[in-house]
Amino acid sequence: MALTPNSFTDATVSPSRATRKYKDISLSFTRHPITGDIATLSDADAVKRSVRNLIQTDFYERPFHPEIGSDVRKILFEPVDESTAMNLSTYIEECITNYEPRAALSSVRVDADTDRNGYHITIEFYIVNSEDGLISMDVDLERLR
C-alpha cells in the first residue's frame, strides 16, 4: 500500500513519536507583549499550574463539577505529624491520578514542618505525550486561620 500525502498514517509507520503541546491561560491575566491577548502557559508550566490548582480546590467549589477537588484544605487543620502527612500524600495522589489526565504521577513526598505548622510537598510526574523528562514541583501548604 503506497502512502499518498493525504492518506492517514498509523503511529507505527512514522519514525517520530507523536507529541502534543498543552496550553492554558495564565491566571495572572497579564497581556502578551506582542499580541495584546491574555498570556498563556505552555507544556510543563501549564500542567504544573493545573496540578497546583487541583490540590488547592475543595469538593463542590467548581461550578458544574462538584466532584473535582480534594480534602487537602480540610486536613491542614489536623495536627502536623507524620500520619497526617501520609494522609495528605494519599489525597494528593488520588486527586492528580483522577483529575489530571496530562500528568503521569511518579511520586509524592510530603514533609511535615512542625515549626511553621505546614507541609512541604514535592510532586514528580511525567507529562503524557511529551518528550519532557521527569517534572518536579514543590508546594508549601500551611493553614491560614
**pLDDT number for residue 58:** 92
Write the burial class of residue 127 (CB in 10 Å: 0-12 exposed, 13-18 middle, 19+ buried): buried
**pLDDT number for residue 18:** 59
**pLDDT number for residue 80:** 92
Which has more pLDDT, 33 or 84?
A: 84
Digit-coded pLDDT (tens) for 29-80 = 787 788 878 777 777 888 898 899 999 999 999 899 999 999 898 898 899 9
For 23-27+36-142, CATH gives 3.10.450.40
Domain locations in the chain as residue ranges: 23-27+36-142
The answer to whether the CB of 105 falls within 8 A of the CB of 39 is: no
Which has more pLDDT, 13 or 26?
A: 26
What average pLDDT does the structure give for the chain?
Answer: 83
The answer to whether the CB of 71 falls within 8 A of the CB of 57 is: no
Average pLDDT over residues 78-87: 93
For 23, the grid coordinates are 496550553
Residue 100 has pLDDT above 70, yes or no: yes
What's the pTM value of the predicted model, to 2 decimals?
0.76
**pLDDT number for residue 132:** 81
The one-letter amino acid at 75: I
Cα distance between residue 141 and residue 109, in whole Å: 13
**pLDDT number for residue 13:** 45
Per-residue CA distances from 79 to 4, 24, 52, 82, 99 (Å): 65, 36, 23, 9, 27
HSE (side-chain half, CA atoms, 13 Å) at 93: 11
Per-residue CA distances from 46 to 53, 56, 76, 111, 115 (Å): 11, 16, 26, 25, 32
